[in-house]
Each structure stands twice: as C-alpha cells, then as structure tokens.
Amino acid sequence: MGPRTGSTPGGGAQPKPQPSAVSEGKDAGAVEVRIEMLGPLGISGGVRSAHAPRTTAIAAFIHLRPGRSAEALCQAMDPINPWSTRTLHSRLSELRNVVGLTEDGHPLLPRPKNGDGYAFHPAVTSDWEEFKVLAARGLAAGPKAGTEDLETAMALVRGKPFDGRTLPWADPVIQEMMSRITDTAHTLARWHTDGDTPDLDAARHAVLQALDVEETSEVLYRDLLHIDWTAGNTTVVRKTVARLQQMARTYDITLADATEDTITRTLSEHPYPAPHRAATS
C-alpha cells in the first residue's frame, strides 16, 4: 500500500512520483515514498516536503541497514557524540511525519516490536534500489534492448552520492554507488560508440556525467579521449589530456599503462588499431 498524499506548505497537493523500476508488481495507483541518495539526500513522495539534513540521513540509514536497534542508530548518526535516546525519538518522530502513512493508515516507519529494530514499510524505496534494478536489467539485456534501461538509471544520478557528505557509516555504500555509476556509464559509452550507428554525443554525455561523480576514474577518461578522438575533436582531446594529468597530480596518482597508451594514441594523427577496443576497456 502506498502513503497518503498531503499538501505542501504552499497549500498545493504534492505530485505523485513517476512509476519506478522497483515498483513493478505493486498495487496499481500506489504511491511510493523514495529516499534519494544519488545526489543531495532527500525524500520524495512523502506528506511533507521540508525536512532537516539529519532527518534525511537517518532515513537513508534505516533504508540501507534495516533492522538496526535504537543504540545502533544513535551511534551511527554521531560516532563521536552519539545521540541521546531523546534526540533519536525526536528525529524519528520528524521522519514519521515526513513519510506519512499507508493508505490503510499504518505508519510507513512503524515502531519496532519484539526487538526487530527499525525498518520501513516496503512502500518506501530509493533511487539507489531503482538504479541497481535498471542497471542489472540493462546489462543482462545487452546493447539493443538494454541501452534505455542504462540511460534511465543514469538519469537518476543527480550528483555525487549523499552530495559528498561525510557519513562514516555510509562510506562503503557510497563507494559501491560510485563504482556502479562508473561501470554503467562506461558500458553506455561503449554501446553508443560501437555498432553501425554510433551516437558519440550520448556516449560523451554519459561519461561526463559519471566524471562529475567520480573524477579520478581513469577508465572514464579513456572513454572520453576515445570518443573525442573518434569525433575528430583534437582540441577537446588535448584539453581532456590536460585535465586528466592535472587530476593525477592533484591526487598523486600514477596513471595506468592503458591510460598512458590512450593519451599517446589520441594525441597522434594515426587511427586506433583494431585491438584498441579491448585495450581500453
């Protein structure tokens, strides 16, 4: 069951979220609440649009790590100065007011029973869960049938996961998010540049979007160099090489042999040999 819709502070009814990949098979017309993590933290589809950063942070924690105790939540939210039980209950009350109720009146964040810990109702989803579903389905389908799913997955990415916020408990999942975004963009770029009707603009868009999320990814820089070299954009190639080398200096990174080889080849006037496609993957 989905949550009841409410009104925004301005008095207008909140729009229903668009159907998502993770909502397939649920009741028709059900409205989902979605925790947004692929960019600034947020909550969409709830009954209140305004919520504090700590409210969205605890929502993300409960969604990603369901079943944790009150003590675990207090510790995760501030490892140095853990929240008091009173502070936790205040934040959870705020969160319940944001996400609302199911259509039959049950809270989307129920109170734990029998030591089960905190967990959302299944109607609460996330952009991250949707991304994973789309990416997995697209990769399994291959270039002809799967490109649309990968593009839809990348459209969910609004910036760096968690907007670059430092949350120790979230570090592992943030790294996974960045890795999956990079892999998805790389695959899209290859699919758009391969085949009989390449779309270099679409390939470039996917790579640049992912570089905004993971600016140290050499595979994405290699993709970008290959795309603009193929398009004959020699000036852009030189600028990308300069950007890549500056990134390596900034982060004290020794570029991989494959990256150095790609730089050498794209700065030359000679086309790539046939084996290049495998070498830069």
State which of 99, 125, 151 marks the end of a domain. Answer: 125
Considering the domain architecture, whether residues 214 and 227 belong to the same structural domain is answered as yes
Q: List own/partner pairs for 253-262 with CB under 8 A and 24 or more apart.
A: 253/216, 255/218, 256/218, 258/218, 258/222, 259/218, 259/221, 259/222, 262/221, 262/222, 262/225, 262/226
Domain containing residue 242: CATH number: 1.25.40.10
Considering the domain architecture, whether residues 155 and 179 belong to the same structural domain is answered as yes
Residue count of the chain, please give it: 281
Computed over every residue of the chain, the mean pLDDT equals 86
Give residue-wise pLDDT tens across range 100-132: 998 889 999 999 988 789 999 999 999 999 999
Residue 6 located in a structural domain: no
Q: How many domains does the chain have?
A: 2
First to last CA, the chain: 44
Q: What DSSP state is assigned to residue 103?
A: T
Residue ranges making up the domain that contains 68: 21-125
Round to whole Å and give the CA distance between 46 and 185. 30
Mean pLDDT, range 242-255, rounded to an integer = 98
Give how far the C-alpha of residue 208 lies from the chain's centroid of Cα atoms, to the nearest Å: 15
Residue 5 located in a structural domain: no
Asked if the model's pLDDT at residue 200 lies above 80, the reply is yes
Mean pLDDT, range 87-111, rounded to an integer = 93
Residue 99 located in a structural domain: yes
Which structure tokens are listed for 164? Answer: 């670059």
